[in-house]
A and B are shown apart, each in its own frame.
Chain A
Amino acid sequence: MSKLSRRKLITTGLTVTAGASGLVAAAKLAKRYGLIPPDSGGIYGPGETLTYATQRLLTRHSLAREFSRSQISKNPFANEVAPLGEDFKRFQLGAFTDWRVAVDGMVARPASFSLAELKGFPRRGHITMIQCEEGWSYIAEWTGVALSHVLERVGALPQARYVVYRSIQTDWWESIDMADALHPQTLLTYEMNGGELPVGFGGPLRMRVSRQLGYKSVKYITRLTMTDNLKQFGKGLGSASPEGGYAWFAGA
């Protein structure tokens, strides 16, 4: 180790300094272009930021793979959900006619839509795969209204950067960036495989984010909030997933 010369120390120091300032500059740029995920703190922050930034540079407009009718899974699997409370059962007894979705936050005209109103908006659908982070999957046809259409109706403000969406199950809430919120395949779905969306699969209303894993497709949607800052929601990590130890961005 006697070979560790002064010159070597100086060049190493300069390299480290240059590298560090390069990283700081990259971080600033990434922040400006919205490439930093809300769960970028902590020991897994660097990997998560690399993943999200790379995905956003690559996948801003790409479409999830769509399948043919014959590829629809004959035996889809409805994952277990926490017991649905009395509130939900009351809506269910009324055939969900009273179910409403509130849209608020950074919008020009906050509103609340009933299921019937949502069904009156232009219908959109796709046959896509839903993958669970556990490893299993199925293909189904999802029909509903494009989230972008709902956001357009309430006059989403241009400075809004995320949509926070909440479920009647208060411990399951999520958020997506505008690339996913305005994505043509992102739907508020009320039908599956041509029939009513079954409760087990998220009925009466499920957010369907086609390019991310199943846990971003939250069931029983009751409220959408547009925001430019995720820090004010929950623990400020973007959604319930990072609070439970799971990544906010689930495209990987």
Chain B
Amino acid sequence: MAEAQHLRHSRLVRVTHWVITFAFLALLVSGLEIVVSHPRFYWGETGNVNTPLLFKIPIPSSRNMVPTGYGYVLPDQNGWSRYLHFQSAWVLVLIGLLYGVAGLLNGHFRRNLLPALSDISPKSLAGSILEHLRFKRPSAEEAWSYNLLQRLAYLLVIFVLFPMIIWTGLAMSPSFVSVVPAAVNVLGGQQSARTLHFFLTGALVLFLLVHVFMVFLTGFRSRMRAMITGRPAEPLERV
């Protein structure tokens, strides 16, 4: 714990951050690849090319039975994509659980992510949003902490988006829902679960893009070093 005091990020946070990053990227690539075999989305229990759809992605498909408007069919990559998707999901869930349980026990969430009660006001929220919109570089001491919008975004990702995307993923499994039918029934059906899974992916990708953009805005080298070695930015570098 003595070590933790002069480190920006604890070793647990750094290791789980990068393992989850790689698992998420593997899930994203394999998930999009699976979508290519049927780039149509539905609502309710069932859906196929004979039924009305909610929306479709205007891309070619890896199956010739899907009417896409393109005159060609992409190669089928679903086999390894599905294997990789589920293996990465296991890594993400297990390492995510380790991070979540440790974060609750050692006070990481309470200390570093939960905003102070006094900070949760429309005024300070508006202030934080305005600072972000102006692309204002944070002050030196902010390299040691998280600002309000950042805290709320991280909490949303950790406690809402990730649990929801795991849940909607499980809700698509015919075996899993044979044990927990409520997991899919409360979502309105298996195709609804699939569509929600896709929307949640979009939300997480949006988070990833903003997150990486902010890392660049606030100093790529120092932020990366803080998340890799744990040592924060040196003032000298921040000229």
A positions within 8 Å CB-CB of B? 44, 46-48, 50-51, 55, 58-59, 62-65, 67, 71, 73, 75-77, 79-80, 129, 131-139, 210-213, 244-247, 251-252
Contact = CB atoms under 8 A, between A and B. Distances in A.
Contact of B174 (A138, A139, A212): A212
Given A71-B45, A138-B46, A251-B173, A44 B64 contact: no
A65 B86 CA distance: 22
Interface of A is mostly: loop
Given A44-B84, A136-B47, A252 B191 contact: no
Interface string B80-93: 10111011111100
Contacts of A46: 87, 90
Contacts of A133: 34, 37, 78, 82
Contacts of B64: 80
Contacts of B37: 133-135
Contacts of A67: 45
A59 B179 contact: yes
A45 B190 CA distance: 27
B190 A129 contact: yes
B177 A44 contact: no
A73 B46 contact: yes
A209 to B, nearest CB: 9
Contacts of B176: 55, 58-59, 251-252
Given A44-B84, A131-B190, A135-B35, A245 B79 contact: yes
A132 B38 CA distance: 10
B48 A138 contact: yes
Given A75-B51, A136-B48, A137-B47, 18 more contacts: A44-B84, A47-B87, A51-B90, A59-B178, A65-B177, A65-B178, A65-B184, A73-B46, A75-B50, A133-B37, A134-B63, A134-B78, A135-B34, A135-B38, A136-B38, A139-B45, A246-B78, A252-B86
A55 B86 CA distance: 13
5 contacts: A44-B84, A46-B87, A63-B178, A134-B34, A251-B175
A47 B86 contact: yes
Nearest to A65: B181
